[in-house]
Structure 1
Amino acid sequence: MTSKQSIVPRKGPEFGLEAEDLPRYWFAGDAFKSRFFDAMSLLFPEGERFFIACVRDFREQITDPVLQRQVKDFIYQEGQHSMVHTQFNERIKAQGVAVDHILKEEHHFLFNVFRKRMSRRYTLAQTAAAEHLTALMAHGFFAKAILKDADPRIRAMYAWHAVEEIEHKAVAFDVYQQVAKGGYLTRVLAMLQVSITFPLHTFLIMRHMFKVDGLKQRGRVWRRGLWWLYGPGGVFSGLLGHYLAYFKPGFHPWQAGQLDRYQTWRETYETTGDAIAAGDVVARTA
């Protein structure tokens, strides 16, 4: 199945992430919501490097010129994501969060455990699974305007990232199926594993952040936050069907996911060149 959207190799926009007036709890003043996205940001740079490495394992075997170009653009986009989130993570590091230690542990986990002990086909399946999870979150966040109450600068960063996750959401999957000749069982096992490890690592980082913050009544914060994520009407409500579609034998990433908000962002950004304005428009129109 061919891509429904072109992959645009954009240079990471300027978001003003170095501004001193960015609040610690930049998402509606809420500790859980802010730290949930902060924790994911810490995971992104090493994760993006892992994804690039896993796709590159099969790059020389690609004969389809369209897929070759998509892989090239995928690598560029993931590299830009890593750079921008590294800049954002410096802000988190200045707050006392053990960013260097977290990144070191994640690097060891991804590159010294998975890439040394698992087959290249399996780590590519992990990449395809992670790309599906990030894409369905991107679709869902756009549809619900999850970040409408967030600081416009950080909202813009996540909107830009979401757009590019949607654009390249099928690349690793296509390399896995067409080039690595990966099978259904490996694909499903990798998704089950990623579905556990990704949120687990996010929550462990959040627990550390809450301790650094000296947050009071942490049990109450966790209860309310997890309800916001998983409760009826929560962040992930309505996304279960999109998630479970991955387990269908004939699944392809372009079979699911709304594109209206994506088009709104892209048209606004390409007209204005202003990522913050594009993020604002998406938040207002959802």
Structure 2
Amino acid sequence: MSDQDRHLDPGEPDRVALHARDVDFDWADLPMHWIPGEPFATHMINVLHLLLPEGERWFVEVFKQALPLIRDEHLLEDVRGFIGQEAVHAESHQGVIDHFDAHGLDTTRYVEQVTWMFRKVLGDRPYEGERREEWLVERLALVAAIEHFTAFLGQWILDADALDEAGADPTMLDLLRWHGAEEVEHRSVAYDLYMHVDGRYGRRARAMVIAGFALFVLWTRGVRYLMRHDPVLRGSRKARWRDLIRSGRLGITPSLWQLLRAFPAFFRRSYHPSQHGSTSQAIAYLAKSPAAQAAEH
């Protein structure tokens, strides 16, 4: 089913009540290459664990600052649900980083660079009045742009049956699919908030250019870093573009074409996140996710 067909499907719910699920994951048995025999594909996805904790803590802080600007009760409820979900996401991925660090894959230097970007470059500045609000709105536009990409990844992981066929670790798959399902579930919130407080097309487009470039640089550096510091590989393999093409063809990572195709939709003036992804599919996964179900009970 295409994204457009999903959008037109009357079976898709218009709105869901967002709430944080207090999930827990046991990484004691996680192998270094949790996609067996596929170190590149493993680390291509592992970059998420290094980026997301600081990034999602930043999302939470920016959205908390925006709460006084919200004049719509439904949006306010959605933003509070988004904040709760993102906070749990950050801590869940932090557990994977701690596991890697304890098993010889030192992520410290890369994570420090990510932390510097979110806390220093994109953090609070000593502005007052209108200038302070403009900086907040600028960051809300960036969150909306990044959330477009995370929603794409969320839908991809929900659809990625090839990972099951490749024997990927089931606990890691549950983490990724639980998180991906919640990204699809709340995919419209950041965009709706930006449109509520500002909505200018030029700022939105600029934010995607900046976010897209930053994600490209961080992701390529992250994969190279993980391959270089992998205690099993010991520097014997480097990240190569042909590895990305191969893993994309196998369906165990997003293909280069899928990644490139994910961005242009955001630049359409008629764009809305609800046009992409399946809320009903996300809800269906959350209803059977081992971690989400354990949290409910």
TM over 0.5: yes
The answer to whether the 8 A contact 1:45-1:83 is kept is: yes
State the distance in 1 between where 2:218 and 2:93 align: 17
Equivalent residue for 2:178, pick from 160, 163, 169: 160
Which runs of structure 2 are paired with 1:59-208 in the superposition (5 Å)? Answer: 59-116=67-124, 119-148=135-164, 149=166, 150-179=168-197, 181-208=198-225
Provide the residue aligned with 2:265 in structure 1: 245
The answer to whether the 8 A contact 1:52-1:78 is kept is: yes
The answer to whether the 8 A contact 2:144-2:190 is kept is: yes
Secondary structure at the aligned position of 2:163 is classed as coil
TM-score normalised by the chain length of structure 1: 0.84
Equivalent residue for 2:278, pick from 249, 258, 263: 258
State the distance in 1 between where 2:247 and 2:201 align: 29
Provide the residue aligned with 1:235 in structure 2: 254
Provide the residue aligned with 1:15 in structure 2: 25
Query: Structure 1 residues 126, 108: CA separation in 2 closer, same or farther (over 3 Å shift)?
Result: same
User: What number of residue pairs does the alignment pair up?
Assistant: 269
Query: Structure 1 residues 14, 222: CA separation in 2 closer, same or farther (over 3 Å shift)?
Result: same
Q: Which moved more, 1:83-92 or 1:222-231?
A: 222-231
Q: Which moved more, 1:93-102 or 1:69-78?
A: 93-102
Query: Structure 1 residues 151, 230: CA separation in 2 closer, same or farther (over 3 Å shift)?
Result: closer
Secondary structure at the aligned position of 2:40 is classed as helix
The answer to whether the 8 A contact 2:52-2:93 is kept is: yes
Query: Structure 1 residues 38, 242: CA separation in 2 closer, same or farther (over 3 Å shift)?
Result: closer
Query: Structure 1 residues 9, 88: CA separation in 2 closer, same or farther (over 3 Å shift)?
Result: same
- The amino acid of 2:211's aligned partner reads V
- The amino acid of 2:46's aligned partner reads D
The answer to whether the 8 A contact 1:50-1:111 is kept is: yes
State the distance in 2 between where 1:45 and 1:199 align: 18
Identity %: 27
Equivalent residue for 1:223, pick from 233, 241, 244: 241
**Structure 1 regions of 5+ residues with no counterpart?**
276-286
Return the structure number with greater relative CO, CA threshold 8 A, min gap 6.
Answer: 2
Q: Which moved more, 1:105-114 or 1:83-92?
A: 105-114
Query: Structure 1 residues 43, 23: CA separation in 2 closer, same or farther (over 3 Å shift)?
Result: same
The answer to whether the 8 A contact 1:67-1:171 is kept is: yes
1:97-144 residue CA offsets vs partner (Å, 9 max, x unmatched): 343333332222122112357822221111001111000111122223
**Structure 2 regions of 5+ residues with no counterpart?**
1-12, 126-133
State the distance in 2 between where 1:245 and 1:229 align: 24
Cα offset, 1:44, TM superposition: 0.5
TM-score normalised by the chain length of structure 2: 0.81
- The amino acid of 1:147's aligned partner reads L
Provide the residue aligned with 2:62 in structure 1: 54
